[in-house]
Structure 1
Amino acid sequence: MKWPALSLALLLASSLLAGCAVNPATGRTNFVMMSEQQELDLGRRYNQEIAKENPRYADEKLQAYVQQVGQRVAVHSHRSNLTYHFTVVDSPDINAFALPGGYIYIHRGLLAYLNSEAELAAVLAHEVGHVTARHSVQQQSQSTAWNVLGQAVAIGTGVGAASDLTNVVGTAFVRGYGRDMELEADGLGAQYLARSGYDPQAMIEVVKVLKNQEDFARDQARLKGQPAPPSGYHGVFDTHPDNDTRLQQVVGPAKALAGGSQVVNREVFLEHLAGLPFGDSAETGVRRGQDFYHAGLDFTLHFPEGWGLVNRPDAVITHSADKMAFIAMSMDGRKPSAAPADYLRQKAGGQRLAVEEPLQQAGLQGATAVLPGNPARRVAVIYKDDKAYLFVGAIRNRASLETQDGNFLAVIRSFRPLKKEELALAQPLRLHLTQVKAGQSIASLARDSKLPGSKADVENRIRLLNNLYPIDEPKPGDWLKVVR
């Protein structure tokens, strides 16, 4: 029997809807198109790619501690059969995330703002909740389903636009985890905290930390006349967490599971943070004002006043204030045998170079040129030790290269080895612990801080580090984190 095209489309769609499974964490039926083994394989593949962009923080004692705390909550989860991997990422970003199958990352930038082992456990338990509820698998399945369903409708109706419309709807439907999934992970994480001996209230405390960060970022943007930044890790809470009804509802039931003695371990946790880099690390390079220093690779860069810097594992990118002009520097493997000018021509892939010029600076050999095109780009290479450093500068929206070429050349020509007196500048700011004495205040602690920024910004940052934002003061005897 020959099926009509529309019937075939409906059959394809209905077969997708058969891809349902009982969620191991919630007991509800969810739409998924992936077996557990496929999920594990996907997680392993993603983990290999993520590791390239998220360097592991080189402190094995801290790594072991985070793995121990994470495993303590994971063993009490709904998918305790999985092998969980908890990794501290060498990044100042305030973030944590989970991959399918039990790969969980927490950035040291978020660690710096937590204040107890229970809060660390809450972050890790929240991410375990995403894994046990298979949130990433649900998203992947829904995205695939919308795409296939769109194709089926297009086949059945002969209207290609239907596929485009369905893809748009599907993309909107699966964008981000969304508030519901975040709350579900909070509720599951609170259960795992209670079962492993931690206070489920720590989940609320972590959300307070994140909410304070969001409020601080919005206040800073308002003072500068800038638009409010997008919401960060975990999702938005418009109200204070203490007053958020849905958050209280998902965390509340876990408190009934908690035993009499609940672990907080504030001092143990703080001891593990002592010496943690705050902001940039020596391994990734340190920004000081408009200068960038890298101790391991022994170089420094200077970028124009008002320009920003993005420090990535694969590149250092400096950009104009409006983010229309940028120049990226990357390390292109071992120094080639070709002369610098020949190297640039090889990199151009047969395209003609213009305005070629040799570079000789601080005993280093290099070359620079313009790569014509729309837009034209400033390119350069500098050989140092056994490595080649490649620079590419460009302007968005096809603006004229001449408007920023002087700045691009200034960045390129600032590249040189560190001087002996600059080695200290290549070392990061670090967290230190101090016990508050009678009469000490946030203002007095701020005077001794090495944090950059105005007096108000430094005070706010110390409060954020110690869960005292926006106006609280410490009590004598309290242990606080300070930055020196």
Structure 2
Amino acid sequence: MKLRLFLLLPLLFQLVGCAVNPATGKTDFVMMSEEQEIDLGRNYAEEIAKQYPRYADEKLQAYVQRVGERVARNSHRGNLDYRFTVVDSPDINAFAIPGGHIYIHRGLMAYLGSEAELAAVLGHEVGHVTARHSVRQQSQSTAWGILGQAVAIGTGVGAAGDVTNALGTAFVRGYGRDMELEADGFGAQYLARSGYDPQAMIEVVKVLKSQEDFARDEAQAKGQEAAPAGYHGLFDTHPDNDTRLRQVVASASPLVSGKGEVGRDAYLKMIDGMPFGDSAEAGVQRGQRFYHVGLDFTLAFPQGWGLINRPDAVIVHSGDEQAFLVMSMQGLKEKTDSQSFIRERTGGRGLTGEQSLKQNGLDVTTGVLQGNGAKRVAVIVRDREAFLFVGAVKGRASLESADEQFMQVVRSFRPLQAGEREQGQPWRLHLVQLKAGQSLEELSRQMGGEGDKLKRLRLLNGLYPTGQPQPGDWLKVVR
């Protein structure tokens, strides 16, 4: 048995290789050439384009591309064709995929305060690309999987593959924090080489830590648990006075003459008028009601419940997140009725307690789909569109514990009425100059949006929780 395993291991090592990392100069364990990395990134980018809508402001897109290219040109892999894209999403996030495709969400840009801070985020993501972090992680995961299969074949113990995969996953996850610090270090270098102030890395950490504190305070005020922070890495997990982070920023400072460019005014002018929160194209939430102008519908959800608006679905959930109702839309190739749609989806079985009815002139069929965890299902057909609702509960709770709330949401679905299209327009960021004698409390009363408006105003302008601006400062407000 040992001989069989010994003979299999050379096959593993034929499939892997080592390469000098272009950023660190160290030899890395990799299973992918640069050409393969670029091809992989191109394929990923095509899939991302289907899931993450591009923000429809080409002037802002071009600005972000210019800032990103300025940083990338001063990186260890300036030869790559970098593509920087603003995603039309309110999420606080940014990410990179192999080959130089980098994405920043509109929601994160709303909280940044300068071009240097934007460059810091993009530089961090460029650092992931230059150090080939995704390639190294994938290579480690793949190698452990191959080794697990070799052990399973060589020993005859099928579970060995699971054990080795678990070890490999733990190893890769343990690598994560070092990779994030490495990306911050490279990002700070690239900022300085590009003429930006590398201290912007620290400012971004402050912005994101304040966002995390604000989210926790807002959740506690509602009696809920705060959602996990969206942005990854040291920006998410380390305080702004983290010693290691400050060391990497300090080491980059000598690379720039003087303090370096900040670019606050230029950045604020670029995001003036940008939607804040949901966009009209994705639909917007106003209190306990959701409006979608493009698809001409609105629905309501119960008090104490929340709503998650995703590009592919709207998810309504109970406050304890034990009950979920997912609504998605599907185009129909030919005209059909709601009952026929359900029959096709269930292979002719239909639904238990099935009912077909008219609701606000729309064709509706609803019932319960039996199986491992019963689900409330409803479909609303309008012309060549089918709106499909699927509700389920977690754990051992019965469907009946949330079924009435599910049906409240389904029954609330209707076309927009006269005057409601205005409700479907987003809040937007606007710049105002603080006047002498004007307080933040006074300015906050002009703010739109949900929650504590004074706290939100402070958060948007890097003043959370107690900072004070100076007269003449330009501030971001939501209206």
TM (norm. structure 2) is 0.94
The 10-residue stretch of structure 1 (157-166 or 92-101) with the greater mean CA deviation from structure 2 = 157-166
- Report the CA distance shift for 1:402/1:239 in structure 2 as closer, same or farther (over 3 A): closer
Structure 1 counterpart of 2:317: 319
Cα shift at 1:224 = 5.6
1:163-174 equivalent positions in 2, closer than 5 A? 163-174=161-172
Residues 263 and 346 from structure 1, CA distance in 2 versus in 1: closer, same or farther, beyond 3 angstroms? same
Paired residue type of 2:184: D
Call closer, same or farther: CA 1:352–1:174 in 2, change over 3 Å: same
Q: CA deviation at 1:192?
A: 1.1
Matched, 1:424 2:419: no
- Residue 467 of structure 2, aligned match among 457, 472, 483: 472
Offset, 1:158: 3.5
> Which runs of no fewer than 5 residues in structure 1 stay unpaired?
none
Q: Which residue of 2 aligns with 1:273?
A: 271
1:31 to 21, 29, 32: 29
Task: Indicate the residue corresponding to 2:4 in structure 1.
Answer: 5
Q: Distance in 2 between matches of 1:399 and 1:224?
A: 24
More displaced stretch, 337-346 vs 68-77: 337-346
**Residues 219, 368 of structure 1: CA spacing in aligned structure 2 closer, same or farther, 3 A cutoff?**
closer
CA deviation string 1:95-130 (max 9, x = no partner) = 000000011000000000001111111111110110
Kept after mapping to 2: 8 A contact 1:195/1:257: yes
SS of residue in 1 equivalent to 2:139: helix
Per the alignment, residue 286 of structure 2 pairs with 288
Letter of the 2:270 partner, please give it.
Answer: H
Q: Is the 8 A contact 1:335 1:383 kept in 2?
A: no
Q: Deviations over 1:207-263 (max 9, x none)?
A: 22112222333444555665565444133576642x321111212121111134732
- After alignment, is 95-104 or 164-173 more displaced? 164-173
Aligned 1:336-351 pairs, distance under 5 A: 336-351=334-349
Q: Is the 8 A contact 1:336 1:388 kept in 2?
A: no
Whether the aligned pair in 2 keeps the contact of 1:353 and 1:371 (CA below 8 Å) is: yes
* CA shift for structure 1 position 84: 0.7
Q: Could you give the per-residue CA deviations for residues 47-85 of structure 1, whole angstroms, max 9, x where no partner exists? A: 111222211111111111111111111111111111111
SS of the aligned residue for 1:480 comes to strand
The letter for the 1-side match of 2:117 is E
Q: Output the amino acid matched with 2:205.
A: V
**Whole-Å Cα distance in 2 between the matches of residues 66 and 177 of structure 1?**
30
Greater alpha carbon shift after TM alignment, 368-377 vs 128-137: 368-377
Residues 25 and 378 of structure 1, relative CA distance in 2, 3 Å threshold = same
Task: Indicate if the aligned counterparts of 2:337 and 2:381 stay in contact, CA closer than 8 A.
Answer: no
Mean Cα deviation higher: 357-366 or 75-84: 357-366
* Aligned partner (choices 409, 412, 433) of residue 411 of structure 1: 409
Count of residues paired in the alignment: 478
Give the whole-Å Cα distance in 2 for the aligned partners of 1:430 and 1:176.
40
Q: Which residue of 2 aligns with 1:383?
A: 381
2:98 to 100, 121, 126: 100
Is residue 205–residue 239 contact of structure 2 (8 Å, CA) maintained in 1?
no
**1:375 counterpart SS class:** coil
Structure 1 residues 393 and 26: CA distance shift in structure 2, 3 A: same
Compute the RMSD of aligned alpha carbons.
2.1
2: distance between equivalents of 1:262 and 1:156? 59
Q: Is this contact kept in 1: 2:335–2:383, CA < 8 A?
A: no
Q: CA deviation at 1:375?
A: 2.1
SS in 1 for 2:28: strand
| Partner Cα separation in structure 1 for residue 472 and residue 253 of structure 2 | 30
Normalised by the length of structure 1, the TM-score is 0.93
Match of 2:354 in 1: 356
**Other-structure match for 2:114:** 116
SS at match of 2:395: helix
Give the partner amino acid of 2:6.
S
- Give the gaps of 5 or more residues in structure 2: none
For the Cα contact (< 8 Å) 1:125–1:190, is it kept in 2? yes
Partner of 1:216: 214
Distance between the aligned counterparts of 2:2 and 2:378, measured in 1? 62
1:452, 1:458 within 8 Å by CA — same for their partners in 2?
A: yes
Aligned to 2:204: 206
The farther-off stretch of 5-14 and 138-147 is 5-14
- 1:366 positional shift: 2.4
Which of 249, 252, 273 in structure 2 is aligned with 1:251? 249
**CA-to-aligned-CA distance 1:355-397 (integer Å, 9 cap, x gap):** 2222212222222232222322222222224322122222233
* Contact 2:116/2:263 (<8 A) preserved: yes
Alpha-carbon offset, residue 15 of structure 1? 4.5
Specify the alignment match of 1:53 in structure 2: 51
CA contact (8 A) 1:12 1:149 kept: no
1:458 maps to which residue? 453
CA distance in 2, matches of 1:307, 1:194: 46
**AA partner of residue 3 (structure 2):** P
Could you tell which deviates more after superposition, 197-206 or 209-218? 209-218
Q: Give me the whole-angstrom Cα distance separating, in 2, the residues matched to 1:226 and 1:450.
A: 23
Q: Per the alignment, do residues 238 and 281 of structure 1 end up closer, same or farther by CA in structure 2, a change over 3 Å counting?
A: closer
